[in-house]
Amino acid sequence: MSDSSLTTDGPIRYGVIGTGMMGIEHIENINVLDGAVVTAGSDPHEPSRRAAIEAAAGPDGQPIATFEDHRDLLSSGLCDAVVVASPNFTHIDVMADVLASGLHVLLEKPMCTTVADAEALVAAVEASAPDHPDRIVWVGLEYRYMPAVAALIDGVADGEVGTPQMVSITEHRFPFLVKIGDWNRFSENTGGTLVEKTCHFFDLMNLVMGERPIRVFASGGQNVNHLDEVYDGKTSDILDNAYVIVDYANGRRAMLDLCMFAEATREQETVSVIGAKGKLEAMLPSGTLMRGRRGEHFIGEAEAEVVDDESIAHEGLHHGSSYVEHVKFCQAIRGEGPVEVTVDDGLWSVAIGAAAHRSIDEGRPVEMKEMFS
């Protein structure tokens, strides 16, 4: 399918590749987008295809087309854009077919499971760009768009803390959910917990700091979850807790505190940014943003605000961030906005996670230059 056949004046016709939990989440967001419609879905798992039909509104209320093989969806002529929400380890191969099709694509995180595959994908996007100059490739790192986090990012950009010197992100949450075929129980399929789960947070660190890191040092393990889970004779090997320190130039640094057996908590995620002028802190799921200004506020006196984005038409699983992501993706397709999350962003979010795993495995700091070919 060539770029010339893409619909830009009418509704953007979406296909969803991989219609498990995240694929359905995308469908539910697209259903309430202005100027967009789901027309097709693909998944080798027949119950997942049925779920896509049940979830999608479809054009004119008709059932969407479904395919067992994503290549049949790509060649169907039914889609202008696709979401790739298939298991992590399939992304590199599925994206080869998507890039050849010329369709716009939103690729779910993590972009790939290894740095080598992520580098290869960046190269493939660049190599195919001359043949498809108007095609949009967007990586689904939607935590940027959670209202409280988005407000924090805007505050940092507006200079509220001065130059950010420290970023601290805490996620204390529930264990990994069950996925079809239990593919997410093994690091070889996911890239490892610090790629699969926390690439979002490494992306946020880079975005807030405005640069790429130079070094990673991590400590982590599998202490509680999935210890007795065995699939086809193989025991689950995914980490359930870690501390990760990410160093940037000029002594600036970030830290991740991850625990996946900590659902007995009030806030699941906290993102804080500190500079010489003060501190911004976003907390989820409450959506609270704390603003503290040095010289004006002391401990206990920071201003608290619950951030609400009334434009969000579907809250979904991620506080409305997936909806905002699709709004911006559609704007980029129509030439009304930039690609805000690039394959280079996706590559670095994977690389930091992979460096953290290497640091844990080898018990040493890892220089980021080691991670790239």
H/E element, 206: helix 199-209
What type of residue is 235?
Answer: T
Establish whether domains 3-141 and 143-324+348-371 are of one fold: no
d(CA 245, CA 69): 41
pTM for this entry: 0.95
Q: Cis before residue 47, ω within 30 degrees of 0?
A: no
In which residue are the tokens 């996925």 written?
179
3-state per-residue secondary structure call for 108-171: ECCCCCCHHHHHHHHHHHHHHHHHCCCCCEEEECHHHHCHHHHHHHHHHHCCCCCCEEEEEEEE
In 3D space, the residue among 158, 149, 264 whose CA is nearest the CA of residue 203 turns out to be 149
pLDDT 10s digits, 315-359 = 999 999 999 999 999 999 999 999 999 999 999 999 999 999 999
Domain range summary for the chain, segments of one domain joined by +: 3-141, 143-324+348-371
Tell me which CATH homologous superfamily contains domain 3-141: NAD(P)-binding Rossmann-like Domain (3.40.50.720)
In which residue are the tokens 């057996």 written?
261
pLDDT recorded at residue 363: 98
How is the chain split among helix, strand and coil, in percent rounded to 5? Answer: 40, 25, 35
Q: Helix or strand or coil: residue 38?
A: strand
Longest dimension (CA), the chain: 62
Predicted confidence (pLDDT) at residue 7 exceeds the cutoff of 80: no
| Over residues 244-265, mean pLDDT | 98
| pLDDT band at residue 10 under the 50/70/90 scheme | confident
| Over residues 284-305, mean pLDDT | 98
| Over residues 196-204, mean pLDDT | 98
Query: Tokens standing for 23?
Result: 């694929």
Query: Tokens standing for 109?
Result: 């995180």
Q: What are the residues whose beta carbons fall under 8 Å from the beta carbon of 299, sequence distance 6 or more?
A: none
Predicted confidence (pLDDT) at residue 192 exceeds the cutoff of 70: yes
Burial class (CB in 10 A: 0-12, 13-18, 19+), 109: buried
Residue 113's DSSP bridge partners are none
H/E element, 91: helix 91-101
d(CA 316, CA 288): 18
Predicted confidence (pLDDT) at residue 5 exceeds the cutoff of 60: no
Predicted confidence (pLDDT) at residue 65 exceeds the cutoff of 50: yes
Average pLDDT, the chain: 96
Q: What are the residues whose beta carbons fall under 8 Å from the beta carbon of 130, sequence distance 6 or more?
A: none
Q: For the chain, what is the radius of gyration of the CA atoms?
A: 21
CATH architecture of 143-324+348-371: 2-Layer Sandwich (3.30)
| Over residues 285-300, mean pLDDT | 98
Handedness of CA 98, 110, 363, 361 (dihedral sign): negative
